[in-house]
Amino acid sequence: MIRRACIAVAVTAATLPLPAFAQEAIPGALDRAFGTLESGNDGSLSLSLQLLLVMGLLTILPSLILMMTSFTRILIVLAILRQALGLQQSPPNQVLVGLSLFLSLFVMAPTLDRVNETAIAPYAQDQIPAEQAIANAGDEFHAFMIRQTRERDLLMFADIANAPAFETREEVPFSILLPAFVTSELKTAFQIGFMLFLPFLVIDLVVSSVLMSLGMMMMSPMIVSLPFKLLLFVLVDGWAMLMGSLAQSFA
């Protein structure tokens, strides 16, 4: 009986006509809402369009972090180090990603400060429009990326795109700079990873030779070499050396 009474009340409330003031208020509210979507008289974007643009940028923020910062190089080097040590899940992926993110913030701090000075702060003070703020921020990231990109990679993608010769590096568009920057970062990360692999590979070879000479063919060399690799990495203060080297590689 209680359920039937609740259903009857809900149906009755749904079929009742709306008050007159509500019917008059809805079109006005819609007009004001859609009116804010129009551009301002000075040609600048309205607040609603600016919020829509910001929300759209937030959806591609992970891709921007991966493709336009130092995050890719640092994460790949740390993953190669874990593989060279022979560790499967230590440090875990969450730790590697977090470490790469905060080290990237450290490396990108000068660029982010210039972005704040030339784009975010003037835009927050209504000194420049949103389009100019985005352009200024893009110029700062362009300057960082062009410094870390090999000229050979730039020329390769420029030839693929049949782009004309650029007089200065600042004239390179993002359509060519982005793939060239990612290619250079991958190449640099694998070069650093190769240098990290060498000392641990030597330890594996020595341990394997010793086990073979002792006739312990059934024992896995990885189990025996893992403590020695960890000991070597700790004795040389490997984490501090690696973090410092990665940060200085972007100087």
- Which single residue is written with the structure tokens 């110029």? 139
241 in a domain, yes or no?
yes
List the structure tokens of 96. Answer: 């590697």
Q: Which single residue is written with the structure tokens 């927050």?
A: 124
Question: Which CA distances in Å does 51 have to 7, 45, 57, 126?
Answer: 41, 10, 10, 15
Task: Judge whether residue 22 has pLDDT over 80.
Answer: no
- The reply to whether 26 falls in a domain is no
pLDDT averaged over every residue in the chain = 78
Higher pLDDT, 144 or 37: 144
What pLDDT is recorded for position 46? Answer: 63
Residue 240 reports pLDDT greater than 70: yes
Examine the pLDDT at 157 and tell me if it is beyond 60: yes
pLDDT band of residue 45 (cuts 50, 70, 90) is low
What's the number of domains the chain is made of? 1
Q: Specify the residue for token string 């008059």.
A: 24
- Residue 24 lies inside a defined structural domain of this protein: no
Cα–Cα dist 250/108, whole Å: 9
Over 50: is that where the pLDDT of 34 sits?
A: no
Q: Give the range of the structural domain holding residue 133, as residue numbers without chain letter.
A: 67-248
Give per-residue pLDDT as tens, 47-106: 777 677 777 777 777 777 778 888 999 999 999 999 888 887 888 889 999 999 899 999
Cβ(38)–Cβ(30) below 8 Å: no
* Residue 206 vs residues 154, 161, 199: alpha-carbon distances, Å: 42, 49, 11
Query: How confident is the model at residue 169, as a pLDDT?
Result: 81
In-domain check, residue 29: no
Interval 173-216: pLDDT, tens: 888 899 999 999 999 999 999 998 898 888 888 888 888 887 77
Residue 216: predicted pLDDT: 74
